[in-house]
């Protein structure tokens, strides 16, 4: 008999139903889209009534559905769908819809019985009734199943995070689905176990159906357990060539239980289950082996009463038992399963019926106003893990997610991370009695315990995982190290203090003795369960170990594992306990009792420099000569392999040059820059630092007298110059005005080209107030670079010598290299001292400037290069004497030779080897009083390579310093102190009140790294706030002495400074990076990206260095969608600035995210491996297509036709071959590909001439079909215009006219013109009107053609954007020639003046640029002549003839020629006609001949 559910007309009816999302279409766990949220209207074939497992209520299907729909319509008449009664989310206010989505998501983390109680509470408050009072208990009878799963520990050790998350949730999904399919309610996920219940309907407790109801509940639970055993035992896991097995065993019980809501009304709640049946079910499960379902005696007796036993099952009816009984195993079930088949149907918003599972509960959203919804949302969040609640709060504040994201979100947020786990066991007696008063006492005590523990955890930024009550008593599980609870030195500053605070607070405040166990280890942290019912869990061996610590004999109160002790060595002493065996650990685990706390240290040291005297002398000689004899710029290039000391050589050499020139009282300006990874993607990256310093320097008083210079010189005599280095001392003077203001002054003084301040000031130097107005035309790139040279020369004009020291020049960007080229060509007394890796790796080997340097400039002594080789034996001995504090003559020759041979004489390697000798005590005084190897063994250098030596040094560092260096290595070769502090605070979730101590710890760790010779420290002046985020280098203007040890004395007032750090050698950074797991590096990159995003209000407002840093971190964190979007944004901005060439490497860098294994022989598609193309997801495919398309457009703009076509064709090929393209609904992303290829075809050279027509026809027809299917008139009209143009060029004029007729039906200039321009740069659709007029004219339909010309000029053109001059020219260009041929030149000239010439000069001025600019003069000249011929002008301008005869006049490039030829006639023919016409108006036969020859 068909039955229907009652509507929600009273609070009591909530007990009928089980929870499921209002957004969820429950058949198969799929979700509806965002267009609809199902209401509370359910229709069922069979469903239990009030809290029942076997319903009795009956209504007709049609009557029930109609009644419910009518009732809901009264409540929400505007939102209810009349056809199916669904609630349309699109019609709801955004706040309500977003809140419903949030409740839906959070509700999946709690049992449906909790959702039922909370919904009742909210509606009671809505009716001004009393709310739930915490603690709140409900007593009822229920069948319980405890499902214990094994194998997760081994699985977590075998699989990576993604695979682990996948298989864990697949397995839980199977189990949870069985529970829900059998009408059960999942109460808790207790680690790798599950509690589920089947309640007895409380209305039937006193009815005659009570016994049957009880039996049916037990039978359903037993059937569910048997199915789980049958389907989930010996579950094989095969992944990545590894195998494991998951297993399960279950316990079944029945009895009276109390469900208790614990917590408070403002922060956190827990739902716990108490009663004897809890002990029964856990004991039954313990009695079961893997693959068995065991029933408690009570459950078994009821099962015997209500079930029909199988024959020969070994189970006799009504046999009483005092012990747990096996009732099912893997392959056998010893009772008749519950056979009732029930179908429940929901009518979706689309009018279809969706199967739902029994006992599903739908929140009555239609009965709640905004306040009620918000209250329900808050209440549900109290029961959800803090990480989930926090993530949901952040998500809701940022955006509404779609259902697909909601469905899979919990899996994407899983992590495998090191987590501190605390198990807290209050030693209290929990046994319910018949006394309600005594039971209430227990509930209150549990509530006080929960509140106290939660309060302490909050104060230490920890998380409560859950509160469990089982046969072992009450257990609270807490964690540190999840999102939102990470911090530096967590063990000593949070975990151990929290353990002590909880332990003593429970004892002192509540009189409750307790045990606490704390462990640290890798754990799976994420949601486990099914799509519609899951919880946040922490699973791993360390979690199990924490539970085991509670059972340690002679427990002192707090015990921790060895992993915690090792992380908290500063905290205090630890008393050792006997080791214990634990699952997941091969050896017994040491256990300790923590005692007290300690603090960190502080330290610092400086490096030394030896050798290279001859090499430095050659550079100093060159510099001295240049400062004495004014001459052209020169370059000195030093290159060397890793470890050769190239960077130190540059630093020392520049310092020596400065000393020599100061002795001569010459003014020297030194600016230094280190090119870093990623600089090649940032335009003018090198000149960010150079300009910053030059602008600051230019503000120093230029009228410094010789006497003041001498005074400065004398003041330096008493300082120790040899201890100073260019990298450690800043010599910039304090300035009164900002560098931004000074840039303004220089631009005014030198007459900067239009837009220079915007481009250089904002985009390149980071001045926030210098942003380019999008309505302004960007300056020409050539003008920008020339003016940068002008600024450089202006700021250095009064220096006797300007030294530009550039390290790792091979990593600079092409635009910086071009500016260097121009300074080199025009500059005087500028010496470039550059360092580079071996020339074979130079990025400029194929560059014209590089070729000039190695050819003519080398011959003229303007370019010199030096190959740094190894040190000689004597220089290595010098290094030994400095490192070991002895004289060179005291160094044992064999000792020196061993060091020399082992390090190949490379300075950096030798320095590390000597440091190792000092640390390990491998040297000493020999019998002859020389310094040599200590002891008898001369092979005391206990490392075989530099790599091993560096590893030893790194391992000797303390944990926090290593972690700091981990962050630093990911940030890059150079980083700011504020940068690494910000990253660490973000990644470790440092609270505001702890930021000061955290800052100190970071500084301490960096200081240790400096002392160890791993990092170098640079003081940075950040007084100019506009430039505070820039990399800063040293600039020097003070004099120094020659061979005397001198230094610097500063008397300037203090101002804001920052510190910059760089690795002393890239070998350190590379070694540290090699130690990090890829997942950990991705995590750091992710936090670095988030740190940048959190510090930047709008990334579009940021300078390009910041953007490219963010891009790098996003790319390395595998956030491919964000990285690709940012690359496209940067590339688009580059294009707007005329930097198309610079956008190409940005696109290439982004595409590398999917270009894997390029060197393999596997089949590839457009440079992508077949595997990548076949597996790429929808979002990544879109990003790839967009990047390839953007690169094709950039290459096309640069007239690199073949490369441009290759990029477009690659995009099209990848799109066609990728399976994920079939799910892309909006296929408009491919439209620019067709447009780009069509554009390139018009200029020829793309394919063989004989194949062009066929290729173009296929291309265009495919484009038309794609856009037709898409249905967007913007793209469809553009495609039809393209097809019309193709037919026109082929002479198929009638076909072209038919295309236009189709276009007119869908195109509206007012609605679509601006959108077409936005997509295709000009209104290609409207331009087809001109093409159509041309076709009509060629068919001899002159009147129709003229009529269409009138429509274009009088109706369409006035509605176009006058600033888009290029579009205007293309619109009227075909019209001009029709008017010309019809002897209407004045009208044509008037159209040109009105729509092209005047708007161009109005909006762009005399210096403006546009593609058709070269056509202006020929067109104006031609129509002036024609107007004179027609009598519209009284006289002909005689200056036209000499202008026409000028060499470059009337000359049109091939590109422009071909482009305009497609619209009517080529540009060159205009010049030819002008010359031929003018030849008729001169009597000079020589001039006439010249005009005819030029025209011909």
Tokens standing for residue 1345: 């053609």
Tokens matching residue 1489: 């001949």
Give pLDDT, residue 260.
Answer: 93
Q: How many helices (H) and strands (E) does the chain have?
A: 56, 36
Q: Partners of 474 in the beta sheet?
A: 469
The pLDDT assigned to 1259 comes to: 84
DSSP per-residue letters across 1444-1475? HHSTTTT---HHHHHHHHTTTS-HHHHHHHHH
SS3 1064: coil
pLDDT score at 31: 35
Neighbours of 201 (CB within 10 A): 26
Looking at 835-958, list the stretches that DSSP marks H as alpha helix, in order from N- to C-terminal side: 848-852, 858-859, 873-883, 893-903, 907-920, 946-955
Q: List, in sequence order, every residue forming a beta bridge with 325; answer none if it has no partner.
A: 295
Around Cβ 136, how many Cβ atoms within 10 Å? 18
Q: Which two tokens stand for residue 1190?
A: 């953007």
Residue 307 is predicted with a pLDDT of 55
Q: Give the phi and the psi of residue 425 in degrees, each rounded to 5.
A: -120, 100
DSSP for 942-991, written as a single string: --SSHHHHHHHHHHTS-HHHHHHHHHHHHH-SEEEHHHHHHHHHHHHT--
Half-sphere exposure of 337 (CA within 13 A, CB side): 14
Task: Report the alpha-carbon angle 233-237-239, nearest 5.
Answer: 175
- Give the dihedral of Cα atoms 1400, 1402, 1408, 1412; nearest 10 deg: 0
Residue 162, burial from CB neighbour count under 10 angstroms (0-12, 13-18, 19+) = middle
**Would you call 370 exposed, middle or buried from its count of C-beta atoms within 10 A (0-12, 13-18, 19+)?**
exposed
How many CB atoms lie under 10 A from the CB of residue 1057?
A: 13
Q: Is 554 helix (H, G, I), strand (E, B) or coil?
A: coil
d(CA 804, CA 800): 13
Dihedral, CA atoms, 113, 118, 124, 126, nearest 10 degrees?
Answer: -140
Determine what percent of the chain falls in helix, strand and coil, rounding each to the nearest 5: 55, 15, 35
CA 1047 to chain centre: 46
Please report, to the nearest 10 degrees, the dihedral formed by the alpha carbons of residues 715, 717, 723, 729 taken in order. Answer: 20
Residue 174: φ, ψ to 5°: -60, -45
What does the buried/exposed string (b/e) look like for 88-124 if buried means 16 or more CB atoms within 10 Å of the residue's CB? bbeebeeebbbbbbbbbbbbbbbbbbbbbbbbbbbbe
How many C-beta atoms surround the C-beta of residue 763 within 10 A?
Answer: 24
Report the alpha-carbon distance of residue 1050 to residue 550 in Å, rounded: 62
Nearest to 1041, CA basis, from 608, 665, 653? 665
Model confidence pLDDT, tens digit, residues 356-376: 344 455 778 878 888 888 888
953, two tokens: 């040094």
User: Can you tell me whether residue 613 is helix, strand or coil?
Assistant: helix
Tell me what the pLDDT averaged over the chain comes to: 76
Q: Which residues pair with 670 in a beta bridge?
A: 803, 1036
- Rg of the chain over Cα atoms, rounded to whole angstroms, equals 40
Whole-number pLDDT of residue 71:
34
Identify the burial level of 1493 via C-beta atoms within 10 angstroms of its C-beta, where 0-12 means exposed, 13-18 middle and 19 or more buried. Answer: exposed
Rounded distance between C-alpha atoms, residue 1232 and residue 1254, angstroms: 20
Can you say whether the dihedral through the CA atoms of 1007, 1011, 1014, 1018 is positive or negative?
positive
Q: What is the pLDDT of residue 991?
A: 84
Residue 191, CA atoms < 13 Å, CB-side half-sphere:
24
Burial of residue 161, with CB atoms counted within 10 A of its CB: 0-12 exposed, 13-18 middle, 19 or more buried? middle
Q: Which of 1400, 1468, 1482, 1391 is nearest to 1436 (CA)?
A: 1482
| Spans of the chain, pLDDT less than 50 | 1-78, 84, 206, 208, 308, 311-318, 341-359, 400-407, 597-607, 699-738, 766-776, 778, 841-842, 938-939, 1019-1057, 1158-1159
Single out the residue of 1274, 1329, 1315, 1301 nearest to residue 1463, CA to CA: 1329
Q: Are 246 and 148 a contacting pair, CB within 8 Å?
A: no
Measured between alpha carbons, how far is 436 from 428 in angstroms, rounded to an integer? Answer: 18
Cβ atoms 1299, 1264 nearer than 8 A:
no
Q: What is the DSSP string of 825-850?
A: HH-BSEEEEEEES-GGG-TTTT-HHH
For residues 1460 and 1467, the answer to whether their CB atoms sit within 8 Å is: yes
Q: Would you call the peptide bond into 135 cis, given omega within 30 degrees of 0 as the criterion?
A: yes
* CA nearest neighbour of 536 among 676, 306, 381, 653: 381
* Inter-residue contact 743 to 765 (CB < 8 Å): yes
- DSSP at 1219: G
pLDDT at res. 221: 92
Q: Are 819 and 684 in contact (CB under 8 A)?
A: yes
pLDDT at 339: 65
Q: Indicate yes or no: pTM above 0.85.
A: no
Q: If you count them, how many residues does the chain have?
A: 1496
Residues 6+ apart with CB under 8 A from 164: 155, 156, 414, 416, 524
How many whole angstroms separate alpha carbon 122 and alpha carbon 14?
12
Tell me how far apart the alpha carbons of residues 469 and 457 are, in angstroms, rounded to a whole number: 20
């Amino acid at each position: 008999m068909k039955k229907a559910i009652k509507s929600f007309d009273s609070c009591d009816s909530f007990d009928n139903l089980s929870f499921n999302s209002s957004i969820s279409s429950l058949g198969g766990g799929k979700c509806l889209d965002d267009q609809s949220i199902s209401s509370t209207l359910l229709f069922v074939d069979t469903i239990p009534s009030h809290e029942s497992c076997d319903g009795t209520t009956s209504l007709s299907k049609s009557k029930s559905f109609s009644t419910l729909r009518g009732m809901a319509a009264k409540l929400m008449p505007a939102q209810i769908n009349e056809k199916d009664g669904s609630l349309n989310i699109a019609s709801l206010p955004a706040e309500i819809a977003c809140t419903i989505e949030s409740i839906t998501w959070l509700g999946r983390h709690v049992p449906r019985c909790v959702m039922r109680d909370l919904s009742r509470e909210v509606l009671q408050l809505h009716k001004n009734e009393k709310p739930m009072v915490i603690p709140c208990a409900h007593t009822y009878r229920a069948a319980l199943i405890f499902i214990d799963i094994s194998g997760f520990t081994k699985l977590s050790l075998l699989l990576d995070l993604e695979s682990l998350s996948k298989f864990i949730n697949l397995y839980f999904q199977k189990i949870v689905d069985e529970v829900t399919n059998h009408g059960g309610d999942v109460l808790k996920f207790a680690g790798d176990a599950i509690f589920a219940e089947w309640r007895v309907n409380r209305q039937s407790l006193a009815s005659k159906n009570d016994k049957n109801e009880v039996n049916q509940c037990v039978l359903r639970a037993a059937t569910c357990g048997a199915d789980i055993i049958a389907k989930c035992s010996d579950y094989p896991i095969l992944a990545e060539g590894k195998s494991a097995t998951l297993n399960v065993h279950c316990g079944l019980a029945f009895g009276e239980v109390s469900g208790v809501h614990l917590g408070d009304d403002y922060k956190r709640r827990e739902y716990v289950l108490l009663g004897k049946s809890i002990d029964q079910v856990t004991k039954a499960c313990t009695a079961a082996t893997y693959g068995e379902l065991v029933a408690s005696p009570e459950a078994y007796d009821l099962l015997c009463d209500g079930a029909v036993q199988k024959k020969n099952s070994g189970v006799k009816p009504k046999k009483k038992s005092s012990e747990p009984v096996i009732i099912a195993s893997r392959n056998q079930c010893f009772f008749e399963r519950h056979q009732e088949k029930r179908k429940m149907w929901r009518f979706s918003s689309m009018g279809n019926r969706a199967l739902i599972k029994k006992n599903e509960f739908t929140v009555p959203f239609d009965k709640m106003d905004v306040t009620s919804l918000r209250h329900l949302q808050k209440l549900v969040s109290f029961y959800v893990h803090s990480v989930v609640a926090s993530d949901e709060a952040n998500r809701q504040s940022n955006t509404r997610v779609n259902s697909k994201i909601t469905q899979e979100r919990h899996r994407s947020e899983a992590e495998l991370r090191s987590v501190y786990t605390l198990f807290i066991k209050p030693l209290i007696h929990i046994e319910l009695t018949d006394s309600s008063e005594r039971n209430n006492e227990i509930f209150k005590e549990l509530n006080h315990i929960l509140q106290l523990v939660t309060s302490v955890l909050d104060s230490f930024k920890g998380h409560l995982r859950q509160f469990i009550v089982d046969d072992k008593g009450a257990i609270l599980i807490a964690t540190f190290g999840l999102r939102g609870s990470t911090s530096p030195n967590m063990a000593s500053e949070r975990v151990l203090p929290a353990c002590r605070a909880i332990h003593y607070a429970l004892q002192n405040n509540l009189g409750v003795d307790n045990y606490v166990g704390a462990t640290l280890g890798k754990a799976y942290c994420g949601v486990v369960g099914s799509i519609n019912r899951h919880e946040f869990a922490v699973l791993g061996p360390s979690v199990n170990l924490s539970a085991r610590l509670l059972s340690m004999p002679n427990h002192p109160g707090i015990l921790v594992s060895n992993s915690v002790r090792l992380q908290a060595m500063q905290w205090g002493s630890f008393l050792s306990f006997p080791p214990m065996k634990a699952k997941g650990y091969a050896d017994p685990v040491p256990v300790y009792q923590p005692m007290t706390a300690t603090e960190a240290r502080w330290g610092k040291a400086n490096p030394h420099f030896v050798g290279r005297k001859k090499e430095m002398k050659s550079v100093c000689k060159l510099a001295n000569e240049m400062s004495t004899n004014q001459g052209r710029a020169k370059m000195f290039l030093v290159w060397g392999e890793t470890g050769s000391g190239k960077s130190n050589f540059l630093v020392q050499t520049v310092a020596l040059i400065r000393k020599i020139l100061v002795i001569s009282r010459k003014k020297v300006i030194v600016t230094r820059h280190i090119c870093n990874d990623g600089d090649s993607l940032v335009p003018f990256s090198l000149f960010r630092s150079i300009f910053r310093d030059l602008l600051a320097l230019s503000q120093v008083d230029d009228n410094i007298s010789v006497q003041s210079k001498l005074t400065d010189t004398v003041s330096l005599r008493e300082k120790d110059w040899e201890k100073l280095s260019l990298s450690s001392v800043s010599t910039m003077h304090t300035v009164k005005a900002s560098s931004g203001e000074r840039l303004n002054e220089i631009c005014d003084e030198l007459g900067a080209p239009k837009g220079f301040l915007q481009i250089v000031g904002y985009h390149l130097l980071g001045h926030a107030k210098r942003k380019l107005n999008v309505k302004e035309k960007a300056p020409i790139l050539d003008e920008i670079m020339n003016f940068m040279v002008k600024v450089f020369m202006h700021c250095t004009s009064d220096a006797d010598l300007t030294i530009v020291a550039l390290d790792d020049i091979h990593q600079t960007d092409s635009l910086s290299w071009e500016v260097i080229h121009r300074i080199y060509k025009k500059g005087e007394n500028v010496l470039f001292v550059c360092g580079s890796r071996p020339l074979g790796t130079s990025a400029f080997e194929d560059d014209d400037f590089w070729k000039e340097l190695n050819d003519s400039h080398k011959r003229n002594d303007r370019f010199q290069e030096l190959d740094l080789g190894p040190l000689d034996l004597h220089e290595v001995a010098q290094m030994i004497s400095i490192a070991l504090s002895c004289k060179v003559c005291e160094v044992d020759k064999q000792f020196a030779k061993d060091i020399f041979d082992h390090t190949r004489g490379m300075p950096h390697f030798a320095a590390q080897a000597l440091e190792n000798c000092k640390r390990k005590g491998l040297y000493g005084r020999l019998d002859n009083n020389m310094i040599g190897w200590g002891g008898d063994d001369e092979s005391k250098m206990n490392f075989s390579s530099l790599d091993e030596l560096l590893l030893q040094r790194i391992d000797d560092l303390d944990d926090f310093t290593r972690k700091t260096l981990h962050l630093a290595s990911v940030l890059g070769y150079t980083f700011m102190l504020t940068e690494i502090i910000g990253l660490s605070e973000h990644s470790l979730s440092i609270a505001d009140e702890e930021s000061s101590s955290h800052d100190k710890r970071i500084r301490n760790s960096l200081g240790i790294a400096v002392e160890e010779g791993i990092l170098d420290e640079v003081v940075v002046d950040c007084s100019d706030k506009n430039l505070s985020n820039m990399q800063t280098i040293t600039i020097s203007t003070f004099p120094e002495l020659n061979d005397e040890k001198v230094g610097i004395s500063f008397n300037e007032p203090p101002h804001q400074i920052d510190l910059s750090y760089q690795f002393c050698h890239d070998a350190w950074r590379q070694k540290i990076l090699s130690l990090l797991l890829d997942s950990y590096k991705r995590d750091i990159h992710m936090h670095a990206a988030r740190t940048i995003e959190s510090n930047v209000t709008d990334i579009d407002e940021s300078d390009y260095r910041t953007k490219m840093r963010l891009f790098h971190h996003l790319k390395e964190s595998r956030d491919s969608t964000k990285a690709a979007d940012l690359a496209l944004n940067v590339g688009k901005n580059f294009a707007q600035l005329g930097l198309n060439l610079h956008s190409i490497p940005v696109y290439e860098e982004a595409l590398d995210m999917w270009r894997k294994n390029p060197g393999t022989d596997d089949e590839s598609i457009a440079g992508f491996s077949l595997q990548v193309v076949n597996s790429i997801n929808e979002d990544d495919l879109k990003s790839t297509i967009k990047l390839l398309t953007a690169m094709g457009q950039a290459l096309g703009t640069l007239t690199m036709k073949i490369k441009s076509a290759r990029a477009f064709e690659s995009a099209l090929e990848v799109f066609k071959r990728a399976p994920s393209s079939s799910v892309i609904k909006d296929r408009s992303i491919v439209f620019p590909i067709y447009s780009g290829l069509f554009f390139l075809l018009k200029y020829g050279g793309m394919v063989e001439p004989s194949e062009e027509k066929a290729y173009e026809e296929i291309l265009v027809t495919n484009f038309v079909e794609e856009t037709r299917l898409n249905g967007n008139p913007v793209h469809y009209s553009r495609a039809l215009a393209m097809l019309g143009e193709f037919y026109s060029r082929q002479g198929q004029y009638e076909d072209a006219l038919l295309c236009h007729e189709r276009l007119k039906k869908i195109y509206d200039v007012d609605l679509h013109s601006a959108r077409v321009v936005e997509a295709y740069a000009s209104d290609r659709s409207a331009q087809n009107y001109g093409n159509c007029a041309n076709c009509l004219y060629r068919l001899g339909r002159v009147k129709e053609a003229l009529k269409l010309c009138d429509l274009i000029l009088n109706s369409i053109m006035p509605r176009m954007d006058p600033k888009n001059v290029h579009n205007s020219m293309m619109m009227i260009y075909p019209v001009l020639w029709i008017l010309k041929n019809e002897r209407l030149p004045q009208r044509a000239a008037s159209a040109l003046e009105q729509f092209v010439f005047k708007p161009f000069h109005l909006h762009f001025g005399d210096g403006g640029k546009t593609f058709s600019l070269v056509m202006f003069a020929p067109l104006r000249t031609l129509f002036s002549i024609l107007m004179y011929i027609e009598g519209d002008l009284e006289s002909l301008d005689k200056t036209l003839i000499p202008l026409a005869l000028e060499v470059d006049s009337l000359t049109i490039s091939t590109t422009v020629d071909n482009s305009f030829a497609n619209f009517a006639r080529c540009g060159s023919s205009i010049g030819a006609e002008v010359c031929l016409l003018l030849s008729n108006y001169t009597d000079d036969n020589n001039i006439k001949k010249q005009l005819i020859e030029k025209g011909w």
